[in-house]
């Protein structure tokens, strides 16, 4: 593997890893379109990383035939290429509807109708393209150096109608909604903050601006590629579609290997760059940073809990010269106990001795209370230990 291929693989892996926090955050917030968009980006990054690692050497035609892996990933890549544009269209449409503030169904992220609409826009068409993709495949697949698995489509009119034209259509729809959203934003720029608050959209100015900016960047990143592939492929289409000619049993199982150079991974690099931009926009915001702090705090708590030994005895600390008793959450004392002895076993031994002497325990307890004073439980927030633990102390009250 040369240095260029290694750099491409590393870039794709880093892009995949950086998108994980944004994917988790949008998933928790039920932002279906944004979650699916990030999912498609992560999927392409992961597939690109694996393919580059396998088929970048000089012997790329001998390492692995790709059977099984290529059959699966090619279907997913076809769905992802359309799915990203569908998700961008859905995000742009939702932002536009929020600014219009005329359709309540688009304001509530928990509405089942909105969830169904978002899923339909983001998934129905990509799944449809994945299903009909077999119709226009003239070969099972081919292996390209650096790129790995690559689909081979027939030079027929059916390829235009079932595949090539749709990225351009969805790019245009997404561009129209993004333009309308930007126009509406400029038109209502003084009232946008109030609109976002009153519509209960869960967005503020910064979140809205990040989403809109990301939509514009993805559109301008994907639309040129869609137009380029369409123009490049349409020039070679000259034949009508015939099932028997396209699906020749003798040629279907033949796996071909080509070395067209480094240009074959151009779309993978664009996808990785969009992933990095997505991390910069969504992974470094205040919401994401708060999530990182929460995860770090939970991890630190679990680490401290596993590291510190569990003691069955209560710990005494000196507080202003007065002995104060500390009950850990795992102590054998319950939070409602009024006893201040180190262990329950010592108290049981003391009780047995009193019984043997024939002394009334009630009188002893009353004398002890009069001399020492009753004890009570007080809860206080231990700020010095992170602020998330609630400890129980037993302090002595003066009579």
Q: Which DSSP string corresponds to 91-148?
A: HHHHHHHHHHT--GGGT-TT-HHHHHHHHIIIIIHHHHHHHHHHHHBSSS-EEETTTE
Mean predicted lDDT score pLDDT of the chain? 76
Q: How far apart are CA 312 and CA 390, in angstroms?
A: 19
Per-residue pLDDT tens over the stretch 96-114: 888 887 776 666 667 788 8
Q: How far apart are CA 90 and CA 215, in angstroms?
A: 10
Q: How far apart are CA 343 and CA 345, in angstroms?
A: 5
Q: Compute the radius of gyration of the chain from its Cα atoms.
A: 33
Q: 348 or 252, which is more confident? A: 252
> Comparing 8-22, 177-191, 332-346, which segment has the lowest mean pLDDT?
332-346
Ranges in the chain annotated CATH 1.20.1070.10: 3-298
Are 22 and 279 in contact by the 8 Å Cβ rule? The answer is: yes
pLDDT greater than 90 at residue 5: no
pLDDT greater than 60 at residue 38: yes
pLDDT greater than 80 at residue 43: yes
Token representation of residue 315: 């710990």
Per-residue pLDDT tens over the stretch 119-153: 999 999 999 999 999 999 989 999 999 999 999 99
pTM value > 0.85: no
Are 69 and 47 in contact by the 8 Å Cβ rule? The answer is: no
pLDDT of residue 239: 82
What average pLDDT does range 76-87 have in this prediction?
A: 93
pLDDT greater than 50 at residue 338: no
pLDDT of residue 343: 43
Q: 374 or 63, which is more confident? A: 63
What average pLDDT does range 222-239 have in this prediction?
A: 82
Are 55 and 25 in contact by the 8 Å Cβ rule? The answer is: no
pLDDT of residue 257: 93
Residues 6 or more apart whose CB falls under 8 angstroms from that of 255 comprise 65, 66, 67, 139, 140, 141, 142, 143
Catalogue the E-assigned strands of the chain: 142-144, 148-150, 256-258, 315-319, 322-327, 375-381, 390-396
pLDDT greater than 70 at residue 166: yes
> Comparing 50-64, 225-239, 332-346, which segment has the lowest mean pLDDT?
332-346
Residue 215: CB atoms within 10 Å: 26
Q: 327 or 57, which is more confident? A: 57
The second-level CATH assignment, the architecture, of 3-298 is Up-down Bundle (1.20)
**Pseudo-torsion of CA 294, 26, 214, 17, nearest 10°?**
60
CA distances from 313 to 316, 357, 375 (A): 10, 28, 18
pLDDT classification of 199: cutoffs 50, 70, 90: low
pLDDT winner (highest mean) among 11-25, 199-213, 287-301: 11-25
pLDDT of residue 321: 46
pLDDT winner (highest mean) among 66-75, 193-202, 297-306: 66-75
Residue 90: exposure state from Cβ atoms within 10 A (0-12, 13-18, ≥19): buried
Residues 6 or more apart whose CB falls under 8 angstroms from that of 2 comprise 56
Token representation of residue 122: 């983001």
């Amino acid at each position: 593997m040369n240095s260029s291929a290694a750099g491409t693989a590393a870039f794709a892996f880093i892009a995949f890893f950086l998108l994980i926090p944004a994917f988790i955050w949008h998933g928790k917030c039920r932002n279906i379109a944004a979650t699916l968009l990030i999912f498609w980006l992560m999927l392409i990054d992961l597939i690109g990383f694996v393919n580059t690692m396998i088929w970048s050497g000089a012997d790329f035609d001998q390492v692995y035939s790709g059977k099984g892996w290529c059959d699966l990933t090619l279907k997913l890549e076809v769905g992802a290429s359309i799915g990203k544009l569908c998700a961008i269209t859905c995000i742009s449409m939702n932002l536009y509807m929020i600014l219009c503030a005329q359709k309540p169904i688009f304001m509530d992220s928990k509405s089942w109708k909105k969830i169904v609409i978002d899923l339909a826009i983001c998934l129905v068409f990509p799944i449809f393209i994945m299903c009909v993709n077999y119709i226009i495949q003239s070969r099972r697949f081919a292996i390209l150096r650096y790129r790995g698995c690559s689909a081979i489509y027939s030079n027929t009119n059916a390829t235009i109608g079932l595949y090539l034209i749709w990225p351009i259509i969805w790019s245009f729809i997404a561009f129209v909604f993004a333009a309308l959203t930007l126009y509406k934003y400029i038109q209502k720029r003084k009232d946008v903050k109030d609109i976002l608050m009153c519509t209960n959209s869960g967005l503020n100015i910064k979140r809205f601006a990040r989403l809109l900016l990301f939509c514009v960047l993805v559109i301008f990143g994907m639309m040129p590629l869609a137009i380029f592939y369409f123009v490049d492929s349409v020039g070679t289409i000259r034949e009508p579609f015939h099932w028997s000619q396209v699906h020749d049993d003798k040629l279907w199982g033949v796996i071909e290997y080509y070395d067209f150079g480094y240009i074959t991974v151009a779309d993978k690099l664009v996808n990785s760059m969009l992933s990095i931009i997505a991390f910069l926009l969504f992974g470094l915001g205040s919401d994401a940073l708060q999530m990182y702090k929460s995860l770090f705090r939970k991890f630190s708590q679990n680490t401290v809990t596993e590291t510190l030994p569990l003691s069955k005895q209560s710990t005494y600390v000196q507080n202003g010269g007065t002995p104060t008793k500390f009950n850990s959450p795992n102590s054998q004392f319950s939070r409602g106990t009024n006893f201040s002895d180190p262990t329950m076993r010592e108290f049981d031994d003391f009780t047995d001795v009193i019984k043997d002497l024939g002394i009334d325990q009630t009188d002893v307890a009353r004398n002890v209370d009069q001399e020492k004073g009753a004890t009570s439980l007080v809860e206080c927030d231990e700020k010095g230990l992170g602020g998330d633990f609630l400890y129980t102390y037993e302090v002595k009250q003066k009579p």
